[in-house]
Amino acid sequence: MAAGGGLRAGRPYDEQALRRSVAGIGTAVSPENAAASQALYAPFHETEPYGGVELHRDVAYGTHPRQRLDLFRPARPVRGAPVVVFVHGGGFVGGDKHRPGSPYHDNVALWAVRHGMTGVTMAYRLAPEHGWPAGTEDVAAALAWVRAHLPGPIHLMGTSAGALHAASYLVRPQFWPGDNPGVGSASLLSGAYDLASFDPERLRPYLGADRTRHAELSPLPGLVETEVPVLYAVAEFDPPDARRQALTLISAYQARHGHPPPYADLPGHNHFTLTAHLNTPDDRLTRTLLPMMAPSLSGRRRGH
């Protein structure tokens, strides 16, 4: 752990015990399961002040109060290193880039910094007040701010509802800065891709009740064709619907290209720990993700 920060507790990291605990929580997506899952990994995260980190909170990328981002940079930046832009989940109606007193989602940006990259966590406008395409517009606006202020290729990472916002950006040219999305790579965690087959009640706050509209806004066809390298991740204890979404995407991609896309199915994790484990000793997702997004940094690990 870098000087100036520390672990929240001194207990040893026991991967097998954590896996058993995650399995015991089950697959349901609920506030109670989110809290229980995040509590499991909280003792293994850094606490503020974060050593070796230049941190700027609540930087405006738009005029709405939710259009804010937190910027984490290494005190000694690596020239040309990627910038990781993280889009949180929350069922389209909740979630945030950071909760005071909690390691989430600072841990994602710190994970980037500890591998020599810059980390950006963004908030966005929420449904039902702000429906489609507000989330995609906000991803586009945050990326525009990043391109204007930070050097290096961009890796766009989204989880759950944030994965849909990120995916929608990747496949819809009307939101791009030019003739491509302007990102070097992406990762989508526990996302919805084939919206016609996804739980309509979970989509309703953001997309409305029209199932025809859900199908029209599905990012699946565009994801199959995108030239941006995208890693798809799902957890062993994700809800069955999320696992079906990942399998549908992988099957469609393989049918089109003759091989699957980059893909990680993480044993011993659930919908919430897919991101909660980042910047802990668990490097299962990192081992798959880092070589794709930052080959020159894949062997680099600082802190911890």
**Domains of the chain, residue spans:** 30-294
Query: How far, in Å, CA of 283 to CA of 15, rounded?
Result: 11
Q: Is the pLDDT of residue 302 over 50?
A: no
Residue carrying the six token digits 């919206």: 195
User: Residue 156: what residue type?
Assistant: L
Assign 296 a pLDDT band (cuts: 50, 70, 90).
Answer: low
Is residue 269 within 8 Å of 217, Cβ to Cβ? no
Is residue 270 within 8 Å of 33, Cβ to Cβ? yes
Is residue 115 within 8 Å of 2, Cβ to Cβ? no
Cα torsion angle, 104, 108, 111, 113, sign: negative
Query: How far, in Å, CA of 42 to CA of 245, rounded?
Result: 29
Assign 80 a pLDDT band (cuts: 50, 70, 90).
Answer: confident
Tell which residue, 113, 112, 138, has the closest CA to residue 124: 138
25-59 tens-digit pLDDT? 999 999 999 999 999 999 999 999 999 999 999 99
Asked whether the bond before 49 is cis by omega within 30 degrees of 0, the reply is yes
218-246 tens-digit pLDDT? 999 999 999 999 999 999 999 999 999 99
75-93 exposure pattern, b = at least 16 Cβ within 10 A, e = fewer: eebbeebbbbbbbbbbbbe
State the CB neighbour count (10 A cutoff) for residue 126: 22
Cα 248 from chain centre? 20
pLDDT of the residue at 11:
66
Residue 267: CA count within 13 A, CB half-sphere: 3
Secondary structure of residue 121 in the 3-state scheme: strand
270-282 tens-digit pLDDT? 999 999 999 999 9
98-125 tens-digit pLDDT? 999 999 999 999 999 999 999 999 999 9
What's the CATH superfamily of 30-294?
Answer: Alpha/Beta hydrolase fold, catalytic domain (3.40.50.1820)
Average pLDDT score over the chain: 93
Q: What angle do CA 158, 163, 165 make, to 5 degrees?
A: 105
